[in-house]
């Protein structure tokens, strides 16, 4: 099976960077990324590479190399489907907000829509690759739709979960720990393997059955999230006992069975995957009546919610049990550094909690726009957009955010926050000037010497 044309449905955080790298490394394959959202496609096509819809270090250079050569962004979904030998489905699969499984199960309507559309317009056989994170056995659903509604053409369905982390997407794509391909048809697996072999050593490409591949994605994210919740639970214990969570993390991380990565205590994990995949895992376990398993993983989410709440309450309690009318500067809104993605960011929940207490918040994030910040709060539906706008302001630099503030909170670990002029910030803030470091980013000793009242998670 010779692949000459690839189409990817969905030009988001996964589809955009992944296809850019596939095109970069396979100059002989034409790669077309399509999306229903015309603005998003226009943004991918614009000349100014600093304004691509996804902010990822190094992405601009990859797009510059491949775009127009063999990488195309288009809104012509049907045409791109028809022409392709291989179709990646990279659409979003948010948690359901209605009906059965509300708040837990993944909403597969976008995936199903894609499958129906592929079945509708395809006149030649194709390999369908699921890239989106989805519940186990979704591939079977896709295959079922294709086989029953198609025009008699052959479809092979593969699962090829994405393991890139936002903020390091290009590095992760260029040097993946592993590529996972699940499927039943050896030729289809080989065809996809060949695309990755353009730059990934073949021993790093693992093949499994479909369901192992689908489940592995959920489990990988559940284990990673569990590590963060584990260290975050210990951060609270450290605060109570006088231990320091960074010292504990370092000491346990030296054990090669535990490992040193992913042990950074924080205000709570965010992002589009961890919570969604955990909820999914819990939902699947319950649907098989495996309640002990479901409860075990559910606890990882509960600790994460607790950590966000605990941070907000620490701010209130430290500021003499009231933040009513007080101004709090937020440095960072993204769910981690080096991305403009805010999905499930801890900042949203901490802000919401403080706004409920009538605090005034001024946010600065180097990559997140004000429209997005209001959208995130609006999505929680705790109060009206007007109220959010009157209580929370978005600033274009950190000093404006800190001016006149009673307290300042670090929500995202952007490198640039380390090197701010903290003397200047202190002069502008009300006294005592409180800092709440939700990322353990700053030099607490130095800030304390400067006269700040400094609190960090886990110290």
Residues engaged in binding ligand ADP (CB under 6 A):
9-15, 34-37, 40, 77, 90-92, 110, 113-114, 132, 272
The interface partner of residue 273, options being ligand ADP, ligand UDX, none and the CB cut-off 5 to 8 Å by kind, is ligand UDX
In whole angstroms, the minimum distance from the beta carbon of 274 to ligand UDX comes to 6
Q: In this complex, which beta carbon is closest to ligand ADP, that of residue 169 or of residue 355?
A: 169
From the candidates 8, 114, 238, 273, give the one annotated as an active-site residue.
273
The contacts of residue 149 (CB under 8 Å, 6+ apart) are: 116, 119, 120
Closest CB to ligand UDX among residues 269, 434: 269
Residue 399 binds which entry of ligand ADP, ligand UDX, none, with Cβ cut-offs from 5 to 8 Å by kind? none
Q: Per-residue b/e over 327-348, b at no fewer than 16 CB within 10 Å?
A: bbbbbbbbbbbbbbbbbbbbbb
Distance CA 442, CA 412 (A): 12
Nearer to ligand UDX, 32 or 412 (CB): 412
| 132 touches 111 (CB < 8 A) | yes
Closest CA to 308 of 273, 340, 348: 348
Instruction: Indicate the residue among 111 and 429 with the shorter CB distance to ligand UDX.
Output: 111
**30 binding ligand UDX? (CB under 6 A):** no
Alpha carbon distance 132, 10 (integer Å): 9
- Binding-residue total with ligand UDX (CB under 6 A): 19
The pattern of x and - marking residues 181 through 210 that bind ligand UDX according to CB under 6 A reads: ------------------------------
The question of whether 273 is a catalytic residue gets the answer yes
Q: Which is nearer to ligand ADP, 32 or 307 (CB)?
A: 32
Sequence-ordered list of residues with C-beta below 8 angstroms from that of 165, at least 6 positions apart, any chain: 172
Using the rule CB under 6 A, is 332 a contact of ligand UDX?
Answer: no
Contact 1, 26 (CB under 8 A): no
The DSSP secondary structure of 109-138, one letter per residue, reads: HHHHHHHHHHHHH--S-EEEEE-S---TTH
Applying CB under 6 A, does 224 fall inside the site for ligand UDX?
Answer: yes
Residue from the set 35, 162, 376, 437 that interacts with ligand UDX by CB under 6 A:
162
Q: What is the DSSP letter of 332?
A: -
Max CA pair span of the chain: 74
Distance CA 171, CA 165 (A): 9
Q: Does 264 bind ligand UDX (CB under 6 A)?
A: yes
Site for ligand UDX contains 349 (CB under 6 A): no
Residue 184's nearest CA partner among 128, 132, 135 is: 128
- The contact set with ligand UDX (CB under 6 A) reads 162-166, 221, 224, 228, 262-264, 266, 269-271, 273-274, 335-336
Q: Which residues belong to the active site?
A: 273
């Amino acid at each position: 099976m010779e692949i000459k044309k690839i189409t990817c449905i969905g030009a988001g955080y996964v589809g955009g960077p992944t296809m850019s790298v596939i095109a970069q490394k396979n100059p002989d394959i034409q790669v077309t990324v399509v999306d229903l959202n015309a603005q998003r496609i226009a943004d991918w096509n614009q000349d100014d590479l600093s304004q691509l819809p996804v902010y990822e270090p190094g992405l601009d250079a990859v797009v510059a190399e491949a775009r127009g050569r063999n990488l195309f962004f288009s809104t012509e979904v049907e045409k791109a489907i028809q022409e392709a030998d291989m179709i990646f489905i990279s659409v979003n699969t948010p948690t359901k907000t209605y009906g059965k499984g509300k708040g837990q199960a993944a909403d597969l309507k976008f995936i199903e829509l894609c499958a129906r559309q592929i079945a509708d317009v395809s006149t030649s056989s194709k390999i369908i690759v699921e890239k989106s994170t989805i519940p186990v056995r979704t591939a079977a659903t896709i295959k079922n739709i294709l086989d029953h509604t198609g025009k008699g053409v052959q479809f092979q369905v593969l699962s090829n979960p994405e393991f890139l982390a936002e903020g390091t997407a290009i590095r992760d794509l260029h040097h993946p720990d592993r590529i996972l391909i699940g499927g039943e048809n050896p030729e289809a697996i080989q065809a996809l393997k060949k695309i990755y072999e353009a730059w990934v050593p073949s021993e790093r490409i693992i093949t499994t059955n479909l369901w192992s591949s689908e489940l592995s994605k959920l489990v990988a994210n559940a284990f990673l999230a569990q590590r963060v919740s584990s260290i975050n639970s210990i951060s609270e214990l450290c605060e109570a006992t006088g231990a320091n969570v960074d010292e504990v993390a370092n000491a346990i991380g030296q054990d090669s069975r535990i490992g040193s990565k992913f042990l950074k205590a924080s205000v709570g994990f965010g992002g589009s995957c961890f919570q969604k995949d955990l909820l999914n895992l819990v939902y699947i376990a319950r649907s098989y009546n495996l309640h002990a398993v479901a409860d075990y993983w559910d606890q990882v989410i509960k600790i994460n919610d607790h950590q966000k709440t605990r941070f907000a309450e620490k701010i209130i309690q430290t500021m003499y049990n009231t933040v009513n009318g007080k101004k709090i500067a937020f440095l960072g809104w993204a769910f981690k550094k080096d991305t403009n993605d805010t999905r499930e960011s801890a900042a949203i929940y901490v802000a919401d909690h403080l706004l409920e207490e009538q605090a005034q918040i001024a946010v600065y994030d180097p990559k997140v726009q004000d429209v997005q910040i209001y959208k995130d709060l609006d999505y929680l539906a705790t109060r009206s957009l007007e109220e959010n706008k009157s209580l929370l302001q978005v600033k274009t630099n950190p000093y404006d955010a800190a001016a006149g503030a009673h307290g300042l909170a670090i929500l995202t670990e952007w490198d640039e926050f380390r090197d701010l002029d903290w003397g200047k910030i202190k002069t502008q803030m009300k006294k005592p000037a409180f800092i709440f470091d939700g990322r353990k980013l700053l030099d607490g000793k130095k800030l304390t010497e400067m006269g700040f009242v400094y609190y960090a998670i886990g110290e």
